[in-house]
Chain A
Amino acid sequence: MTQQPINEQEVPSSPTAKSKKIGLIIAFAVILALLGLLAWGLGKVQAGPRESGMAPDFTITGFDGRTVTLSELRGQVVIVNFWASWCPPCREEAAYLEETWRKYEGKGVVFIGVDWVDTEKEALAYIDEFDITYLNGPDIGTRAAQAYNIQGVPETFFVAKDGELRGVHIGPLASPQLDEKIEKLLAEQYP
Chain B
Amino acid sequence: MLAEIGLISLTIAFIFSLYATFASVYGGWRGRLLWVESARNAALLVVPLLTIPVIVIVYSLYTFDFSLAYVYDVSSRAMSPFLRVAALWGGQQGSVLFWAWLMAAFVGIVLLRKWDRDRELMPYVIFVSMLTTTFFVGVVLFITNPFMRLWHIEGAAELTQALFQPLTSMPYLPEDGNGLNPLLRHFGMIGHPPTTYLGFTGFVIPFAFAMAALITGQSRRDEWILTTRRWTLFAWIFLSIGLILGGRWAYDVLGWGGFWGWDPVENAMLMPWLTGTAFLHSVMMTEKRGMMKKWNMALIILTYSLSLFGTFITRTGVISSVHAFAKTALGPAFFAFIGFTFLGSLTILYLRWDTLKSDHSLESFISREAAFVLQNMLFLAVTFAVFWGTVFPLISELVTGTKITVGPPYFQRVTGPLFFALVLLMGIAPLVAWRKQAARTLGKAIWFPFAASLGIAAIWGASHRMHPASIFGLWLVAFVLSAILAEFWKGVQARRTTRNENPFTALFNLIGRNHRRYGGYIIHLGVVLIATGVIGDAYFKQETQGTISQGEVLSVGGYQLEFRELLGYPGSDGRQIVEAVTSLSQDGPIIRELTPRRDYFVVQEQPVTVPGVYSTPGVDVYVMLIGWDDLGTSATFKIYVNSLINWVWIGGIVMILGTMIATWSNPGQREATYVLKPSVLTSHSLLQEG
Q: Are B605 and A175 in contact (CB under 8 A)?
A: yes
Majority SS of interface residues in chain A? Answer: helix
Contact B403 A40 (CB under 8 A): no
Among listed A42-50, A56-64, A158-166, interface-contacting one? A42-50
Q: Complex: how many Å from CA A177 to CA B342?
A: 44
Hey, which chain A residues are within 8 Å of B112, CB to CB? none
**B-side interface residues, number (CB < 8 Å):** 54
Asked if B312 is at the interface (CB within 8 A of a chain A CB), the reply is yes
Knowing A1-B216, A152-B317 are in contact, say whether A12-B354 is a contact too (CB < 8 A): yes
Chain B residues closer than 8 Å to A41, beta-carbon distance: 318-319, 394
CA distance A6 to B635 in the complex (A): 75
Residue interface bits A80-98, CB-to-B below 8 A is 1, else 0:
0000001111001001000
Chain B residues within an 8 Å CB radius of A170: 324
B459: Cβ under 8 A from any A Cβ = no
List the A side residues contacting B398 at CB < 8 Å.
Answer: 37, 40
* Cβ-closest chain A residue relative to B356: A7
Cα separation A151 to B331 with both chains bound (whole Å): 14
Within 8 A of A (CB), among B317-376: 317-322, 324, 327, 331-332, 335, 338-339, 342-343, 346, 349-350, 353-355, 357
Q: Which of B317, B332, B391, B402 contacts A37 (CB 8 A)?
A: B391
A151 to B394, CA, bound (A): 12
Q: Are B320 and A151 in contact (CB under 8 A)?
A: yes
- Interface flags for B385-426 (1: CB within 8 Å of A; 0: not) read 000000101110110011111010000000000000000000
* A interface residues, tally (CB under 8 Å): 48
A11–B357 alpha-carbon span in the complex (Å): 10
* Complex: chain A residue closest to B218, CB-CB: A2
Please count the residue pairs between chain A and chain B whose beta carbons lie under 8 angstroms apart in the complex. 115
Contact with A along B210-252 (1 / 0, CB 8 A): 0000011111010000000000000000000000000000000
Chain A residues contacting B391 (CB-CB under 8 Å) are 34, 37
Q: Among A9, A31, A152, A174, which residue has its beta carbon within 8 angstroms of that of B324?
A: A152
Q: Which of A6, A20, A174 has the most CB of B within 10 A?
A: A6
Cβ–Cβ contact B402 & A151, under 8 A: no
A49's nearest neighbour on chain B, judged by CB, is: B327
B401 neighbours in A (Cβ, 8 Å): 141, 146
- A142 within 8 Å of B by Cβ? yes
Question: Which residues in chain A, 1-36, are within 8 Å of chain B measured between CB atoms?
Answer: 1-3, 6-7, 9, 11-12, 20, 24, 27-28, 31-32, 34-35
- Answer whether residue A38 sits at the interface, using C-beta atoms and an 8 A cutoff: yes
**Given A6-B217, A24-B346, A42-B335, do A11 and B322 touch, yes or no (CB 8 Å)?**
no
A1-B29, A31-B346, A174-B607 given; A145·B218 CB < 8 A: no
> Is the pair B320, A152 in contact by a Cβ cutoff of 8 Å?
yes
CB of A39 closer than 8 Å to a CB of B? yes
Taking A11-B354, A45-B327, A146-B401 as known contacts, 10 extra A-B pairs with beta carbons closer than 8 A to each other, sorted by chain A number, are: A1-B28, A7-B355, A42-B332, A45-B331, A86-B407, A88-B255, A89-B324, A152-B320, A170-B324, A177-B605
6 cross-chain pairs, A with B, having the tightest CB-CB distances, nearest first: A152-B320, A174-B605, A41-B318, A117-B405, A142-B403, A141-B402
Which residues in A have some Cβ–Cβ distance to B below 8 Å? Answer: 1-3, 6-7, 9, 11-12, 20, 24, 27-28, 31-32, 34-35, 37-42, 45-46, 48, 86-89, 92, 95, 117, 119, 129, 141-142, 145-146, 150-153, 170-172, 174-175, 177
